[in-house]
Amino acid sequence: MTWAPLLLTFLTQYTGTVAQARLTQVPSVSQILGHTVTLTCTGNSNNVGYEGAAWLQQHPGLVPKLLTHRNNNRALGVSERFSGSRSGDIASLTISDLQPEDEADYYCTAWDRSVGAHSAPDQRGSETKTRELPWRHSAESPHRALRTLDPDRNKECL
């Protein structure tokens, strides 16, 4: 896929090095447009539990955009619908009032003091889907997915 080299390049420039994966992101979830969803990133006391996590959003073909850093600090220009938090070794990104433009890949990263570099998720992200297209998880896909459903067309969360 074309996004992988772009993300790897960004993380390398952002952190100076890409550490061995030590973070785990949320498994597949479905949610309805207009509702709230929370993505989680589990680390340990050397990374997420130490200084918290940053969350990035990447739309296809574009560079990743910083949403939050050190948990609840929203980056400049980021909608208040996005909020970060942390409880122990788990960082969360909550997206309220889900909109079609929220369809993107979401990544967490955290400084890991045990290796002196940023940690990245082992699966490199959570994919948010807002379109009404069939979703298939491929073994080749490095994402975990979150799909949002149009409430006028789907009355039930999968």
- Could you tell me the pLDDT band of residue 138, with boundaries at 50, 70 and 90? very low
The answer to whether residues 122 and 144 touch, using CB atoms and an 8 Å cutoff, is no
**Edge-to-edge strand order for the sheet containing 90-95?**
24-25, 37-42, 90-95, 82-87
> What is the model's pLDDT at position 39?
92
In a domain, 118, yes or no: yes
Number of Cβ within 10 Å of residue 64's Cβ equals 22
* Residue at 111 is within a domain: yes
The pLDDT value given to residue 105: 87
C-alpha 79, offset from chain centre: 15
For residue 145, the model assigns a pLDDT of: 45
Would 106 be classed as within a structural domain?
Answer: yes
Query: Is 157 among the domain residues?
Result: no
Polymer length of the chain? 158
What is the structure's pLDDT at 117? 79
Domain-located, residue 49:
yes
> Tell me, what's the pLDDT at 28?
65
**Which residues on neighbouring strands pair with residue 143, listed in sequence order?**
none
Q: What local confidence, expressed as pLDDT, does residue 11 receive?
A: 35
Q: What is the CATH number of the domain that holds 65?
A: 2.60.40.10
Predicted pLDDT of residue 122: 54
The verdict on residue 153 lying in a domain is: no
Span 59-115, pLDDT tens digits: 999 999 999 998 779 999 999 999 999 999 999 999 999 999 998 888 899 988 888
Query: In angstroms, rounded to a whole number, what is the distance separating the alpha carbons of residues 124 and 4?
Result: 9
Q: Is the dihedral of CA 93, 151, 28, 136 positive or negative?
A: negative
> Which of 43, 142, 86, 30 is closest to 94 using CA atoms?
86
Q: Which domain holds residue 15?
A: 3-131+141-147
In a domain, 158, yes or no: no
* pLDDT per residue as tens digits for the range 20-61: 547 888 666 677 899 999 999 999 999 999 989 999 999 999
Within a domain: 54: yes
Report the candidate in 157, 128, 147 with the shortest Cα–Cα distance to residue 55: 128
Q: How many domains does the chain have?
A: 1
